[in-house]
Structures are given as structure tokens and as C-alpha cells.
Amino acid sequence: MIPAPFDYEVAESVDNAIELLGTREETKVLAGGHSLLPLLRLRLTRPSLLVDVGRLDLSYVRDAGDSIAIGALTRHHDVATAPLLQEHNPLMSFAAGLIGDPQVRHRGTIGGSLAHGDPASDLPAVVLALDGEIDIAGPNGVRTVRAAEFFRGVFETAVGPQELVTEVRVPKLIGDHVWSYLKFRHRAQDWATVGVAAVARRSNGGVADAAIALVNMGATPLRAGAAEAAWIAGAADPGVEADAKTEPPSDTNGSADYRRHLARVLVRRAVEEAEAR
């Protein structure tokens, strides 16, 4: 539980961070440290250099017209309590409020949560369901990646070794939106055994633009396409095929079978809860 030796630098600016990340092999960004430090302490990762981005001016929640822009260093607690999000995208703030415990929420950042690429994390699925956008800064400037292209595998994302997530944008839920985030976990502080983010727009007595994303049902957060279609079609139980095309893990928190079952129950409940809003 003592990390292997590493060097440590504090980045002064985004450019400086990118420069430092390029100074050697095996460098890592340090944000809130709440995913990275446990890995360091268990010696599961052994970077040669940590680039602390904690002092960069990237903690904010701003109105960006059709969307809300969230700086990569915004803590989960601030996402959960930001009035702009509570007004325009309550799904996002509600889900952030369910992460870990208060200590975790005051340290962990949205950028770290996405860049870490853990399929058990809450915000990746939420940003996927919302079709959010992620800005990634690198040696050649900033590029924007859609959430659907961002998550590549377990702990794998579109972020390259010399790149930094700088901002996340989620749409304002304009019009009559319904949403739900259900996180099934054994203890209050745990990661989701399975989580479901559901959002749709009310239309003609039913819903349109339904999006359902699943937490911890595969290598990345996954859209539950069959369930989305069933929801739009007004199926009695839109959860029946919620686990289609998923590959859930088996671990001490639940077997793959159990996770499939949970996904089906939770999607049905999420849709019920969303529609009751």
C-alpha cells in the first residue's frame, strides 16, 4: 500500500500539462486521485511521472447555449449541486450525487471519471445516454469527441497518453423531458452492480428520443438499443430485452446472470420512474 517510486510535477497550464505528459514514457495525469491513488498504492500501476492538473482553472459549470459546459476538474459534489445542471439537466446532477460517499464526491472529478474508463462508474453512462461531448486537448490542439466514440474498453478511452480532457458538455433538456437514474448497489458507498440512465422526451402521449445507457454491463457503458425501441413503442415492459448485446462481468458483487436480470428489472423501473415524473 505504498506506491512504487514516481516523480511528481504540478502543471501550470493546459499546455504545460501536455508538455509534461510528453517528457517521458508512462506519465499519468493526476486529478482527484480517487481512482488513480488506489491503483498506485496497490502497485497496479507504476507511472514514472504524475502530472498534477489540480491547479488548472478547469472547475466550472457554465451555460453554453444549447448545452451546459462542465470543466474537467469539476468535483462530483459541484456537479451534483450546480443550479444550472439542476435546472437544465437534473439527470446529470442527480447521478453525480450518488457517486461513492461525500469524501469521494468532494475529491473526484468529472474529467477523471470519464478518462478513467471504468464501466462501473456512474457518469460515463449518464454522459452516453445524454449524447454528451468531450473536449480533449493534445499537442495538436483541442478535439471534440462524442460520448459514443469516447469509451473504448475497460480503462480505455479516446484519450491518448499525451492528452487531457478539458471539458464535458451535456445538452439542456429542453421541452418535456423525463428521466431516471437507478443505481443498484449493496452498500450506499459502492459502485453500481448495475446502473441505468434513462432519458426521453414526451411526445404524443408517448416518448421520443429515448436513450437508455447501462452501467457495468460490459467493457464500456452501453446503450440498451432494444429497450430504447421498446420504450418508444410503448411496450408494457421495456426491460425485457435490456440485457441484449451486453457482456456483463462476474465478480463478488454479482454474476453475469444476475446482472442481466438486474438490468431487465432496473430498466423497467427506470422507465416507470421517468414516466411518473
Partner 1 sequence: MSAPTEVEVGRAIGARVERKEDQKLLQGQAEWVDNMHVPGMVYLGIVRSPYAHARITKVDVTPALAHADVVGAWSGADIADEWQGSLPCAWLPTEDTNAPEHKPVAVDKARYAGDAVAVIAATSRGAAEDAAELVEVEYEPLPVVVDPEAALADGAPLVHEEFGTNRCYTWTLEEGEIDRLFAEADVTVSERYRQNRLIPNAIEPRAVFVTAIPANGEFTLWSTTQVPHIARVTLSGVTGIPEAKLRVIAPDVGGGFGSKLNVYAEEALALAVARMLGRPVKWTETRSEGYLSTIHGRDQVQEIELAATSEGKILAVRTKLTASMGAYLQLVTPGIPLLGAWLYAGCYDVQGYSFECTGVFTNTVPTDAYRGAGRPEATYAIERAVDALARKLGMDPVEIRRLNFIREFPAAIKAGLTIDSGDYDASLDVALEQAGYESVRAEQRARRTAGDPKRLGIGLSTYVEMCGLAPSNILGAIRYSGGGWEAATIRCLPTGTVQVLTGSTPHGQGHETSWSQIVSDRLGYEIDEVEVLHGDTAVVPLGMDTYGSRSLAVGGVALYYAADRIAEKGKKIAAHLMEVDEAQVDHVRGTFHGPETSITLKEVAFAAWTAHNLPDGVQPGLEETYVYDPPNFSWPAGAHVAIVEVDTETGAVELLRYIAVDDVGTIVNPIIVEGQIHGGLAQGVAQALYEEAIYDEDGNLLTGNMVSYLVPSAAEFPRWELHHTETPSPTNPMGVKGVGETGAIASPPAVMNAIVDALAEDGITDLDMPATPERVWRALEEARR
Ligand X SMILES: Cc1cc2nc3c(=O)[nH]c(=O)nc-3n(C[C@H](O)[C@H](O)[C@H](O)COP(=O)(O)OP(=O)(O)OC[C@H]3O[C@@H](n4cnc5c(N)ncnc54)[C@H](O)[C@@H]3O)c2cc1C
- In the stretch 5-24, what mask flags binding to partner 1 with x, by CB under 8 A? x-------------------
Question: The dihedral of CA 95, 97, 100, 106: what is its sign?
Answer: positive
Least distance to partner 1, CB of residue 1, Å: 3
Least distance to partner 1, CB of residue 253, Å: 8
| From 71, 112, 132, 218, residue interacting with ligand X (rule: CB under 6 A) | 112
d(CA 44, CA 19): 25
d(CA 174, CA 31): 32
The binder of 216, among ligand X, partner 1, none, by C-beta within 5 to 8 A per type, is none
Please count the CA atoms within 13 angstroms of the CA of 220 that sit on its side-chain side.
18
| From 89, 193, 216, 246, residue interacting with partner 1 (rule: CB under 8 A) | 193
List Cα–Cα distances, 274 to 133, 214, 260, 270, 271, in angstroms: 23, 15, 21, 6, 5
> Per rule CB under 8 A, is residue 42 in the interface with partner 1?
yes
The binder of 122, among partner 1, ligand X, none, by C-beta within 5 to 8 A per type, is ligand X
The span of 26-34, 223-231, 242-250, 269-277 binding ligand X (CB under 6 A) equals: 26-34
Is 119:220 a contact under the CB 8 Å cutoff? yes
> Per rule CB under 8 A, is residue 44 in the interface with partner 1?
no
Amino acid at 272: E
Is 150:165 a contact under the CB 8 Å cutoff? no
List contacts with partner 1 (CB under 8 A).
1-2, 4-5, 38, 41-43, 101, 184, 186-191, 193, 251-255, 258, 261-262, 265-266
